[in-house]
Structure 1
Amino acid sequence: MTTCIKFKQDNIKYVDCNNCSMQPICLPLKAGKTEVSIMDSYLSKRNIVNISTPLFQAGEAADAMYAVCSGSFKLTETSPNNQEKVIGFRFPGELIGEDAIHTQNYNYNAIAVGTTSVCKVDLTELNECGKLMPELQLSLISLLSKQNSMLREEFSSVVAKHTADSLLAAFILNMLKRNALYQESDTKLHLPIGRDVIANHLGFRRETLSRIFSKFQNKGLLSIHAKDIELLDLEGLKNIAYN
């Protein structure tokens, strides 16, 4: 279950609002001579989601979309024989459930990896606000366009890779770019997701993933300490990913 909280907790690192995908509809808007903060009024609620808890599940009626404030989510589908497939991830500043605006049902399971927090936007209330304030509709278009661009980059980072090495290299570079603003580093990356989850997403065996990570370390491309990765040779990793 999600639990509503009003204030940030001191021991959790949150994404800055300026780096959040939800920003286009969080900024104050003009209504005549009055400046209205839609999000401060009643649209946004910060919620804590406990580890391994679904934020929502595939097939459920979509009543809200979310922005990740802290932590991360894995997005999964369940096969007819009840096998879980990891189809993506969401990190601080990114949206979850925005595609359900069209389908009206959630298209995947969003499961918390560790303790996470999200900002929630009620879709019915957002629609009502949009009728009163056309500027909000334009802001929503901007928000969805930005998210779509991120998803295209996520897809292109793994499509048409011919080797396991190039697939993992592209995955690491994509994770680095998506987390750069949040983690404030162009070369260091903290991945809260475990190797089993990464292997599932990339279609590897866990042993294959560990072998390639070791190969990259031996080549001096990166160093790994638990779930922290530091890139030592960015150009070398790019050559593996894209050549």
Structure 2
Amino acid sequence: MTKVNVPDRLLSAPELLAAHRLLRGLPPEAALQMTAHAQLQQVRSAQILFHEGDAAHHYLLLASGQVEVLRYSQSGDERVFQVFETGQLVAEAAMFMPHGRYPMCARARSAAHIYRLQRDSLHQACRQWPQLAMNMLTGLSSTLYAQVNKVDWITSSSAGERLANYLLNLKERQGASIQLPLNQRQLAAYLGIRAETLSRLFTDWQARGYIAGKRSDWALCDEAYLRRLASPAQRSF
């Protein structure tokens, strides 16, 4: 068995999961049930954690580092759908899919520690604590609503509007200095625009003083302009 080097500050699976939104209003026993037989794994950057189409027996709890989920097109291009951080769950929804397979590929974005949690333990916990199932439904409904809004936004917005909205959302999560979690090619695919268009927007906005930075590190210098540009994406609920 490969030895896993565990940092001193690494939380246990029940400790990490107890702080997750899914466990709101639930006793500590729920986290213990969900993490029964959890397996800690140390992974390297770019390591594939599961492939699209693999049998979905486990979902992931991220203890350190970053993980991204992606799909490959018929031409081999990859599209990153989401980047996960410490404390987040990856592929918990796949544990309930009727075909029993992962709909995407998961890849370590950096060196990371992950807990592999068992599908059967999650199912048993949902039966034992109905509030857990309700919390999962709430989270899945929110995700579905966000995706509906995203499809509507992409089909009715310009490239500049999409980029402005994306950068503002990053600022809300990261603060004044933002770091792009995707490279420009991945970001262009995520926003549904051409890579050349995205590069031109960054160059033009930097020349006009709207943003400042390079590569993945940026600051928003004219937030008022970006908010006016992104305003069609803001919804009242």
Q: 2:21 aligned with 1:38, yes or no?
A: no
Aligned pair partner of 2:149 in 145, 156, 176: 156
CA drift of 1:100 comes to 1.1
Question: Which stretch shifts more, 97-106 or 167-176?
Answer: 167-176
Q: 2:41 aligned with 1:47, yes or no?
A: yes
Residue in 2 aligned with 1:7? Answer: 6
TM-score by length of 2: 0.74
Residue in 2 aligned with 1:91? Answer: 84
Residue in 2 aligned with 1:168? Answer: 163
Cα separation, 2, equivalents of 1:140 and 1:238: 37
Alignment of 1:172-191 (within 5 A): 172-177=167-172, 180=173, 183=174, 185=175, 187-191=176-180
Q: Contact 1:72 / 1:192 at 8 angstroms: preserved in 2?
A: no
Cα separation, 1, equivalents of 2:17 and 2:187: 29
Q: 2:94 aligned with 1:100, yes or no?
A: yes
Query: Any stretches of 5+ residues in structure 1 without a counterpart?
Result: none
| Distance change (3 Å), C-alpha of 1:141 and 1:198 | same
Q: 2:114 aligned with 1:118, yes or no?
A: yes
Alignment of 1:20-35 (within 5 A): 22-25=20-23, 29=27
Cα separation, 2, equivalents of 1:145 and 1:87: 24
Any idea what SS the aligned residue of 1:89 has? strand
Q: Which amino acid aligns with 1:56?
A: F
Residue in 2 aligned with 1:59? Answer: 53
Q: Contact 2:34 / 2:122 at 8 angstroms: preserved in 1?
A: no
Q: Contact 1:64 / 1:123 at 8 angstroms: preserved in 2?
A: yes
CA drift of 1:86 comes to 0.7
Cα separation, 2, equivalents of 1:214 and 1:76: 27
Q: Contact 2:62 / 2:115 at 8 angstroms: preserved in 1?
A: yes
| Distance change (3 Å), C-alpha of 1:49 and 1:41 | closer
Cα separation, 2, equivalents of 1:116 and 1:151: 28
Cα separation, 1, equivalents of 2:16 and 2:223: 28
Aligned pair partner of 1:128 in 124, 130, 135: 124
Q: 2:218 aligned with 1:229, yes or no?
A: yes
Q: Contact 2:154 / 2:191 at 8 angstroms: preserved in 1?
A: no
Q: Contact 2:35 / 2:118 at 8 angstroms: preserved in 1?
A: no
Count of residues in Structure 1 that have an aligned counterpart in Structure 2: 222
CA drift of 1:123 comes to 1.0
CA drift of 1:125 comes to 1.8
Comparing both structures, which one devotes a greater share of its residues to strand?
1
TM-score by length of 1: 0.72
Residue in 1 aligned with 2:66? Answer: 72
CA drift of 1:148 comes to 4.2
Residue in 2 aligned with 1:218? Answer: 207
